[in-house]
């Protein structure tokens, strides 16, 4: 009985100490702890939203990559068929090797026979060997490209490079439809034009050379049931290897989607002037 009495007294004493310790925590410190917890929850929520946005972006890029791979395979098949038909039209079913005659060989041969060599072309054809003769590729200084978005760009963030993935023209192979970048094949004076369309939203866009902003424009379709397009044209002096691309503003947060469909295309184009 005494043991239980002592235990009861000790419990009461411990409870009093705990209550006194809790009372010693100031209200200000408690509010700071609550504020810290709220801030942590907000940061966690922001991180979850960012991760979700990155996952959506990665999924969209993966779909584009798969579409591009399918298109490339089809183009390779078309090229193979086209080359086969061209060779058939040219009558190159039997391929010959080309062996070059030297002037000394011709002279020695005809000196033995005692007559003057007959000058023909520099080559004679050996039909006993086969060689695929590739057509001569003509060099061209013409450079130009045109590409547009194959689908809407949903909720891009600021400082986001726009990838115009549908390439219609690319003379000189300066534009990359996988990265959205144009790399100058040679020095010269170039013109670039871009057009963006939005509905019920607004955003600012920049045309960038390497890391420097060369032009900017704003699309304002903030009213309900409103679609608007804006465009910009710049002329730049580039050296070989310079990179030009379009992105959302690095300082202004865009609102809404960039639209692109058969009725209206958000596009990027450029060409060599001189």
Contact 194, 207 (CB under 8 A): yes
- Tally of structural domains, the chain: 3
> Per the confidence metrics, is the pTM higher than 0.75?
no
Q: Are residues 242 and 150 in the same domain?
A: yes
Among 216, 147, 137, which Cα is nearest to 182's?
147
CA 25, 29, 35, 37 torsion-angle sign: negative
Q: Are residues 244 and 144 in the same domain?
A: yes
DSSP line for the chain: -HHHHHHHHHHHHHHHHHHHHHHHS-HHHHHHHHHHHHHHHHHHHHHHHHHHHHHHHHHHHHHHHHHHHHHHHHHHHHHHHHHHHHHHHTT-SS--EEEEPPHHHHHHHHHHHTSPPP---SEEEETTS--PPPPPPPP----EEEEE-SS-B-S--TT-B----EEEEEETS-EETTTTEEE-SSSEEEEEEEEEEEES-EEEEEEEETTEEEEEEEEE--STT-EEEEEEEEEEEE-TT-EEEEEE-SSSPPBS-B--SSS---EEEEEE--
Contact 34, 136 (CB under 8 A): no
Which of 114, 131, 148 delimits the end of a domain? 131
Domain that holds residue 43: 25-92
Q: Is residue 2 part of a domain?
A: no
Q: Are residues 64 and 108 in the same domain?
A: no
Q: Are residues 83 and 109 in the same domain?
A: no
Q: Are residues 53 and 163 in the same domain?
A: no
Q: Are residues 87 and 102 in the same domain?
A: no
Q: Are residues 123 and 150 in the same domain?
A: no
Query: What are the pLDDT tens digits along the chain (274 aa)?
Result: 555 565 566 667 666 656 665 555 567 777 878 888 888 888 888 888 888 888 888 888 888 888 888 888 877 777 666 665 655 555 554 444 334 444 454 445 544 445 554 444 444 444 444 445 454 444 458 999 999 999 998 889 888 999 999 999 999 999 999 999 999 999 999 999 999 999 878 899 999 999 999 999 999 887 777 788 899 999 999 999 999 999 999 888 888 889 998 888 999 999 999 8
Q: Is residue 144 part of a domain?
A: yes
**Which CATH number fits the domain that encloses residue 168?**
2.60.120.40
Q: Is residue 74 part of a domain?
A: yes
Q: Are residues 85 and 105 in the same domain?
A: no
Q: Are residues 144 and 188 in the same domain?
A: yes
Q: Are residues 84 and 108 in the same domain?
A: no
Q: Are residues 105 and 156 in the same domain?
A: no
Q: Is residue 233 part of a domain?
A: yes
Q: Is residue 13 part of a domain?
A: no
Contact 196, 257 (CB under 8 A): no
Q: Is residue 122 part of a domain?
A: yes
Q: Are residues 83 and 115 in the same domain?
A: no
């Amino acid at each position: 009985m005494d043991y239980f009495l002592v235990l009861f007294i000790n419990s009461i004493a411990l409870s009093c100490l705990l209550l006194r310790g809790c009372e010693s925590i100031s209200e200000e410190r408690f509010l700071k702890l609550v504020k810290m917890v709220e801030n942590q929850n907000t940061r966690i929520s922001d991180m979850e939203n960012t991760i979700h946005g990155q996952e959506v972006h990665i999924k969209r890029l993966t779909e584009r990559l798969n579409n591009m791979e399918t298109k490339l395979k089809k183009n390779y098949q078309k090229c193979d068929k086209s080359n086969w038909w061209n060779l058939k039209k040219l009558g190159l079913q039997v391929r010959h090797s080309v062996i070059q005659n030297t002037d000394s060989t011709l002279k020695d041969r005809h000196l033995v026979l005692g007559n003057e060599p007959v000058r023909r072309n520099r080559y004679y054809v050996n039909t006993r060997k086969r060689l695929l003769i590739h057509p001569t590729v003509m060099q061209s200084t013409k450079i130009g490209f045109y590409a547009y978005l194959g689908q809407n760009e949903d909720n891009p963030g600021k400082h986001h490079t726009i990838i115009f993935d549908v390439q219609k023209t690319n003379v000189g192979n300066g534009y990359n439809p996988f990265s959205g970048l144009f790399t100058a094949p040679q020095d010269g004076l170039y013109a670039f034009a871009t057009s963006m369309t939005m509905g019920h939203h607004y955003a600012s866009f920049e045309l960038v050379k390497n890391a420097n902003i060369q032009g900017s424009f704003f699309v304002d379709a903030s009213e309900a049931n409103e679609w608007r397009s804006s465009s910009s044209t710049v002329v730049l002096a580039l050296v070989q290897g310079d990179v030009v691309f379009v992105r959302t503003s690095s300082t202004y947060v865009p609102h809404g989607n960039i639209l692109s469909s058969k009725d209206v295309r958000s596009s990027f184009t450029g060409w060599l002037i001189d």
